[in-house]
Structure 1
Amino acid sequence: METILIADDHPLFRQALILAVSRVAPQAQILECGTLAAAAAAASTAQGLRLILLDLKMPGAMGYSGIALLHAERPEVPILVVSSAEGAGVADEARQLGAVGFIPKDSDLDSIETAIARALGGRAPAASAPRDPEPLPQDVAGLTPTQLKVLIEVIDGKLNKQIAHDLGMSEATVKAHMTTIMRKLGVQNRTQAALVARSLGLDLRH
């Protein structure tokens, strides 16, 4: 059985997405999550996961971090962003970090259903026409989900001790992750790592 994950913290809009999914894929199992942490946990264990519908503005998310984290968890699963975020560049930046498309929350139900159907069929939703993305100066694709979580905490200005407490790991483990993160991003210190992350939109509060 195929599974579709809906990650949105607004119950009413989540119900609208459930309705759209049930019309497009009536046999699919639907998982609902209201926080980014819950969505990441569900994505990591879900069987037959075919599609993730993701709101950018979720508890635990910072800018585009939800896309980066879920893409790292399940890189083979398409992510369709459904958000109230505005701006001409939002859809392009979302796609660069792993999303297959962007659907504004003010879209009608028919448009959302069409986008879901196209995403399940392996096609880019019409609302975000395909465009060749510019190469990122430093790619986050090589970071693991845990490393992304550590990096997001660094952007938030937290010290290793605070990060260790928040993520339930030792300071030594945090230091080891930071060493790996800096190597993968090609930087020399945590400040440069944070700057790179900001250049990727991970701290933009969409």
Structure 2
Amino acid sequence: MTRTILIADDHPLFRQALAMAAGNVAKDARLVEGATLASALLEAQAADDLALILLDLKMPGAEGFSGVALLHAEKPEVPILVVSSEAAAGTAQKALRFGAVGFIGKDSDLSVIEAAIADALTGKRLAAPVDPLLDPVAAQIASLTPTQLKVMLGVMQGRLNKQIAFDLGLSEATIKAHMTSILKKLDVQNRTQAVLVAKALGLAPA
């Protein structure tokens, strides 16, 4: 049985380092790479045997935790291990809230990265912090489909329905239908409230 590991990072040298670590841990795995969020999403969609995503938070097309949220929405069953230069505890906690299973700094030793990859592949995950106010909102955002999440990010950028429709290659009527579903899932009345909900969790637009 084959399995694929996706390495999503815009720095070639760090992708090479992550590939070395992943190869050492999972010698049977096929390694694919994405240098932008868009290319990483395409690789994730194409891999039926995707077993793990190694994700840099800051890569072209991703801001805040939009990369984690979008990849988790696309492949909710696949563990996402965030590898980031941001070592703040708050960053790790928010990444976990959006669907990541672990968080390690880019300055970590190779052995630490390999151990984290091994843990993620065996199903081990760090416990997300409990927040009675934010957790229900996170669950609501997690209920959005990949397309709905992309529409939500477009709204956060201040784009009109027709502009979002053009960006996603959909009709304006389809975007309106998605907005109706988004408002219902987030339990809000309008676009402004939906944006506030997303920003409350640090979900920045791509």
Q: Deviations over 1:107-137 (max 9, x none)?
A: 111111111011111123xxxx535432524
Q: Map of 1:21-100 to 2, 5 A cutoff?
A: 21-100=22-101
Aligned counterpart, 1:133:
130
1:131–1:73: structure 2 CA closer, same or farther, 3 Å change rule? closer
> Counterpart of 2:19?
18
Residues 75-124 of structure 1 deviation map (CA, whole Å, 9 limit, x = unaligned): 11100000112422111111111100101111111111111011111123
3-state SS in 1 of match to 2:101: strand
Tell me if structure 2 keeps the 8 A contact 1:96–1:133.
no
1:198–1:204 CA contact under 8 A, matched in 2: no
Identity across aligned pairs (percent)? 63
8 A Cα contact 2:69 2:98, kept in partner: yes
Deviation at 1:204, TM superposition (A): 8.0
Shift, 1:74, TM fit? 1.0
Q: Which has the higher helix share?
A: 2
TM-score by length of 1: 0.92
Shift of 1:170: 1.5
The residue aligned with 2:114 is 113
Kept in 1: contact 2:154–2:205 (CA 8 A) = no
Backbone CA RMSD of aligned residues: 1.5
Distance 2:153 2:88 in 1: 23
C-alpha separation between the residues in 2 aligned to 1:204 and 1:133?
A: 24
Q: Distance between the aligned counterparts of 2:33 and 2:58, measured in 1?
A: 15
SS of the equivalent of 1:99 reads coil
Gapped regions of structure 2 (runs ≥ 5): none
| Alignment map for 1:107-186 (pairs within 5 Å) | 107-124=108-125, 130-135=127-132, 136-138=135-137, 139-186=140-187
1:7-48 deviations in whole A, cap 9, x for unaligned?
Answer: 111111101000101111111000101111111122122021
Q: 1:182 to 1:131 in 2, by over 3 A?
A: closer
In the alignment, is the contact (CA less than 8 A) between 2:84 and 2:104 conserved in 1?
A: yes
TM-score if structure 2 supplies the norm length? Answer: 0.92
**Is the CA contact 2:10–2:35 (under 8 Å) kept in the aligned structure 1?**
yes
Aligned length: 201
Unaligned runs of 5+ in 1: none
